[in-house]
Amino acid sequence: MPLMRYVILQQNQDLQFVEMPSDYAYQLSALNLRLNKEILKLTADQIPTLPLAIAECDKLDLLQETLRITGGLDYINELEASFSAIQEENYPLVSLLTEIRALQAQLEQWYEEEGVI
Protein backbone atom coordinates (compact mmCIF):
# COMPACT_ATOMS: atom_id res chain seq x y z
CA MET A 1 0.00 0.00 0.00
CA PRO A 2 1.41 3.40 -0.96
CA LEU A 3 2.43 5.82 1.77
CA MET A 4 -0.06 8.68 2.06
CA ARG A 5 0.11 12.03 3.79
CA TYR A 6 -2.69 14.40 4.74
CA VAL A 7 -2.86 18.12 4.08
CA ILE A 8 -5.19 19.94 6.44
CA LEU A 9 -6.85 23.03 5.00
CA GLN A 10 -8.88 25.62 6.90
CA GLN A 11 -11.47 28.06 5.61
CA ASN A 12 -13.05 30.11 8.38
CA GLN A 13 -14.00 27.46 10.96
CA ASP A 14 -14.23 24.60 8.44
CA LEU A 15 -11.46 22.07 8.04
CA GLN A 16 -10.79 20.00 4.94
CA PHE A 17 -8.55 16.94 4.84
CA VAL A 18 -6.85 16.04 1.57
CA GLU A 19 -5.15 12.66 1.19
CA MET A 20 -2.05 12.90 -0.97
CA PRO A 21 0.74 10.54 -1.96
CA SER A 22 3.45 11.40 0.54
CA ASP A 23 5.85 12.58 -2.17
CA TYR A 24 3.32 15.18 -3.36
CA ALA A 25 1.78 16.53 -0.15
CA TYR A 26 4.38 19.26 0.17
CA GLN A 27 3.67 20.35 -3.40
CA LEU A 28 -0.02 20.75 -2.61
CA SER A 29 0.78 22.76 0.54
CA ALA A 30 3.21 25.01 -1.34
CA LEU A 31 0.76 25.45 -4.23
CA ASN A 32 -2.02 26.33 -1.79
CA LEU A 33 0.10 28.96 -0.06
CA ARG A 34 1.11 30.47 -3.42
CA LEU A 35 -2.48 30.52 -4.69
CA ASN A 36 -3.65 32.21 -1.50
CA LYS A 37 -1.01 34.89 -1.98
CA GLU A 38 -1.72 35.41 -5.69
CA ILE A 39 -5.53 35.29 -5.49
CA LEU A 40 -5.45 38.67 -3.77
CA LYS A 41 -4.16 40.18 -7.02
CA LEU A 42 -7.10 38.97 -9.12
CA THR A 43 -9.72 41.49 -10.20
CA ALA A 44 -12.34 39.21 -11.80
CA ASP A 45 -15.88 39.14 -10.44
CA GLN A 46 -16.04 35.41 -9.73
CA ILE A 47 -12.90 34.56 -7.75
CA PRO A 48 -13.02 31.28 -5.84
CA THR A 49 -12.42 31.33 -2.12
CA LEU A 50 -9.58 29.12 -1.03
CA PRO A 51 -8.90 27.38 2.23
CA LEU A 52 -5.43 27.85 3.69
CA ALA A 53 -3.05 24.92 4.21
CA ILE A 54 -2.39 24.85 7.96
CA ALA A 55 -0.78 21.45 8.57
CA GLU A 56 0.39 18.13 7.19
CA CYS A 57 0.45 14.80 8.94
CA ASP A 58 1.28 11.17 8.17
CA LYS A 59 -1.63 9.56 9.99
CA LEU A 60 -5.15 10.84 10.34
CA ASP A 61 -8.03 9.37 12.29
CA LEU A 62 -11.21 11.40 11.99
CA LEU A 63 -13.41 11.16 15.05
CA GLN A 64 -16.42 13.08 13.76
CA GLU A 65 -18.75 11.30 11.33
CA THR A 66 -19.47 14.55 9.51
CA LEU A 67 -15.83 15.00 8.48
CA ARG A 68 -14.54 13.48 5.24
CA ILE A 69 -11.21 12.92 3.59
CA THR A 70 -10.94 14.21 0.03
CA GLY A 71 -8.71 12.39 -2.44
CA GLY A 72 -5.81 14.45 -3.75
CA LEU A 73 -6.73 14.05 -7.39
CA ASP A 74 -10.35 14.97 -6.70
CA TYR A 75 -9.23 18.08 -4.85
CA ILE A 76 -6.80 19.20 -7.54
CA ASN A 77 -9.39 18.56 -10.28
CA GLU A 78 -11.86 20.82 -8.45
CA LEU A 79 -9.13 23.42 -7.95
CA GLU A 80 -8.26 23.37 -11.65
CA ALA A 81 -11.91 23.72 -12.64
CA SER A 82 -12.45 26.68 -10.32
CA PHE A 83 -9.34 28.52 -11.56
CA SER A 84 -9.93 27.80 -15.24
CA ALA A 85 -13.42 29.33 -14.88
CA ILE A 86 -12.02 32.70 -13.74
CA GLN A 87 -12.51 35.43 -16.33
CA GLU A 88 -9.49 37.53 -15.44
CA GLU A 89 -8.31 40.32 -17.73
CA ASN A 90 -5.75 42.18 -15.60
CA TYR A 91 -3.66 39.39 -14.13
CA PRO A 92 -2.19 36.48 -16.08
CA LEU A 93 -3.67 33.27 -14.74
CA VAL A 94 -1.52 31.18 -17.05
CA SER A 95 1.26 30.65 -14.50
CA LEU A 96 -1.17 29.69 -11.73
CA LEU A 97 -3.07 27.30 -13.99
CA THR A 98 0.24 25.85 -15.20
CA GLU A 99 1.25 25.06 -11.61
CA ILE A 100 -2.13 23.52 -10.83
CA ARG A 101 -2.12 21.45 -14.03
CA ALA A 102 1.45 20.29 -13.45
CA LEU A 103 0.52 18.85 -10.07
CA GLN A 104 -2.67 17.44 -11.60
CA ALA A 105 -0.66 15.61 -14.28
CA GLN A 106 1.79 14.26 -11.71
CA LEU A 107 -1.06 12.95 -9.56
CA GLU A 108 -2.83 11.39 -12.53
CA GLN A 109 0.38 9.58 -13.46
CA TRP A 110 0.99 8.49 -9.86
CA TYR A 111 -2.54 7.14 -9.43
CA GLU A 112 -2.31 5.34 -12.77
CA GLU A 113 1.04 3.75 -11.90
CA GLU A 114 -0.29 2.69 -8.51
CA GLY A 115 -3.41 1.27 -10.12
CA VAL A 116 -5.68 3.47 -8.04
CA ILE A 117 -7.70 4.83 -11.01
Average confidence (pLDDT) over 81-104:
89
pTM over cut 0.85: yes
Q: Which strands sit side by side in the sheet containing 4-11, from one edge to the other?
A: 52-57, 4-11, 14-21, 69-71
Q: Is there a contact between 73 and 28 (Cβ–Cβ < 8 Å)?
A: no
Over residues 7-36, the pLDDT tens digits come to: 999 999 999 999 999 999 999 999 999 999
Q: CB count, 10 Å around CB of 77?
A: 15
d(CA 14, CA 66): 11
Angle in degrees, CA 56, 59, 60, rounded to 5 = 85
